[in-house]
Chain A
């Protein structure tokens, strides 16, 4: 099984995942910055395919991160994934982007049985979710995703770049304080879920916030 995974909920990233490859990852790329998704994503995927010597026809399914994440960047990945799935006529699934970090936590040494994952939501807030972990199993989402102030998170260890930014008010795990959701981990998570016979959700974005638009009130009459 060959999976193309894409996530642009924070940085732009893509990966080719195969159950034949070591650790499941054929190849992957991720940007450092969080603002150039539209430029770099498709060229990056093009290189991934060329480097691995595969074409669209060889891919079995596409998985995209559905956020939460800053809207414009998030949509870049979903628009790309949906269009590729249409053009190649491949099934498309969506995974919650914070799952990518949760899987990396689960695979690290000393992972706690219950923890939070947080990423930057800008405006002094974080996107976060609570996970539980049983020995040797995949992390299970227990609560979330939510958006809110870092200072109001449950009192648990927090993993991910959202914890790093607010290390003064949360129990940030040092090894994970710069970690962003990556397509490589997201794709591995998808592969693990499929191997376990689980169904994957669709690509509906998780915005968590409404647009800022205000419905204008009635105009004040001059009197």
Chain B
């Protein structure tokens, strides 16, 4: 055990248990203040492979069976009991309705049985909350201390199978603004669909990332969605989708490209198409994110979501942030994908800020807006 002086604020704080079930990961994490104690995740990803995407009903069934064992393991790892816990936090949205329902019902039951306050929180903001945990890879807490405040001008770029958003965080407990988001598929979904087109299997992100390294990203030029002037406008007069993304046109372009090779009887250059597709996704994500940062005075950017694992996304985001004078923060990967620790981390911030708990009568909301940090 690392023993820190008792006066170190990082060693204090409320003991919070966080529950996550918005997609295909059942997660239970425990934090004390900003210290991570456990992060147990059970994934049903293997059960979705043959379908080439997350099947909500299969995910929900898996959550029901995984919840209690995951909870048990998380408590054991953290070395705490339910009685020790000061508060419980649960993802109440956004996410898959049936999947959210399992975590929310379990969290309410846990709150009832233990008599602990319950916080219903926003999944997207929790992706940011995880960046506030004290660990070597997370540089935000360093900047936050000693006044326990976040850097001013903080933004977050969230990219996963379920979401693609750029946020501005003025206060993690009560002032989060959505600057832009995908208007159709999430980036991760586009990866899954294109991987299927190219016969690369599921999940598409790692498969495409791997083969793209052997391909030429300039071999083909795929369209960058919502990049035309009519959508972008200018900084003074922004168009309707200046910071938004669209990936459905890109997916169609890849399908057409594959068909053309086949129609000509030529071998499909899978590695080149994968590399060119990945370049199109990563280019448009990072250019719009950096644009949003520059035009909104954001100087610290946190990268979150499962697609943060993508090597090219990390590389290009890093490059473009550096040349724009933006400091990029990437939490450790197991905290970028969906997990319970991020829910606990945000829950602890809410407790420390003195925000009132949610009670047990709220309903999960599959389209909870990002402006609602807690219900």
Contact = CB atoms under 8 A, between A and B. Distances in A.
B57 A212 contact: yes
A138 B192 CA distance: 53
Contacts of A222: 258-260, 262-263
Interface residues of B, number: 44
B1 interface: no
A21 B364 CA distance: 36
Contact of A42 (B61, B64, B105, B258): B105
A91 to B, nearest CB: 14
Given A42-B109, A216-B52, A222-B262, A83 B68 contact: yes
B219 interface: no
B105 A38 contact: yes
Interface in A194-217: 205, 207, 211-216
Interface string B58-88: 1011011001100110000000001000000
Given A36-B363, A38-B105, A212-B57, A84 B113 contact: yes
B60 A82 contact: no
Contact of B98 (A40, A75, A84): A75
B101 A76 contact: yes
Contacts of A38: 101, 104-105, 108, 363-364
A216 B360 CA distance: 40
A45 interface: yes
Interface residues of A, number: 38
A76 B105 contact: yes
A38 B362 CA distance: 8
Contacts of B361: 39-40, 43
A149 interface: no
A219 B194 CA distance: 12
B113 A56 contact: yes
A57 B312 CA distance: 55
Contacts of B364: 38
A46 B102 CA distance: 19
Nearest to A216: B52
A221 B262 contact: yes
A82 B357 CA distance: 24
A5 B7 CA distance: 48
A71 B60 contact: yes
Contact of B67 (A46, A82, A88): A82
B97 interface: yes
A211 B61 CA distance: 9
B76 to A, nearest CB: 13
B57 A41 contact: no
B71 A86 contact: yes
B109 A80 contact: yes
Interface in A25-74: 36-43, 45-46, 56, 71-72
A87 interface: yes
B110 interface: yes
Contacts of B112: 42, 45-46, 84
A154 B60 CA distance: 33
A209 B81 CA distance: 38
Interface in A76-109: 76-84, 86-88
6 contacts: A42-B109, A46-B360, A75-B98, A82-B64, A83-B71, A215-B51
